[in-house]
Amino acid sequence: MALVTGATRPGRVGIAIAAELARRGCDLVLTHRHGKRPTGKGRAELAAAEKSLAALGATVQFEHVELDKPARVAAWAGALLGKLARLDVLVHNASIYQATPLKSVTVAQAHEAFTINALAPLVISRALAKLLAASPLRSPSGTRMGGAIVAMCDIHAMGELGQARTDFAAYSMSKAALLELTLVLARELAPKVRVNAVAPGVVAFPTDGDESDAAMQAKYLSRVPLGRAGTPREAAEAVAWLALEASYCTGQVIRIDGGRAIT
């Protein structure tokens, strides 16, 4: 059983992670932002996700949670604890991503980014840690692994020279906090829960805004040694490996960036 936050939007990394875990035999709990009774586009999105994942053999349970409201996140996670018989994998994928230039960034924007991208993962991990620790999950070779947490970080928020981005202070700070949370949880939850991170470069360019511009994308890719953007599935494969196969791996960060971090 795998829980993936923010995993229903077509063409994005979250649904790709859900699909890859389904291919490898997981049933799924997926969080979404469409309200308790989705209608219109939101309802269609969930229906499409359920159909595609069912075709891969997974049963799917959808959960609406407001990740920007910590008290509600805590209540939801506590209630989920009572519903699930087991939990083997927790993927912190949900994220808010928006430009926040220094001249216009607000306290509210920074608070929202931190709450969704870092605080919500902390609250959810705390609530579900005991269930993950009880996981009977074994590696393909038969080694008992216990449960796994995988956090979706970002190569541009890892404290490395030359990688920090301008105009994204709120997002980058929150993702840096998520990376540190990953390392702390890896120590605190060992040896029963493995905690790792995947840090993509570009695996799915935004479909609107400045980063949807072809010239901007070409400029970015000119600094990627492999010469192309990645794909959501390539990021998802790394998540699945960490969650389901990497029996002797915790506190690690896998970069899925085509080599961008070394240029």
Q: Which residues are catalytic?
A: 171
- φ/ψ (deg, to 5) at 64: -90, 130
Residues 65, 75, 132, 234, Cα dihedral to 10° = 20
CA distances (Å), origin 215, targets 8, 100, 210, 221: 29, 21, 10, 10
Rounded to an integer, what distance in angstroms lies between the CA atom of residue 141 and that of residue 250? 18
Give every CB contact of residue 185 below 8 A, 6+ residues apart in sequence. Answer: 125, 149, 193, 195
Q: Assign 137 to helix, strand or coil.
A: coil
Q: How far apart are alpha carbons 44 and 52 in whole angstroms?
A: 12
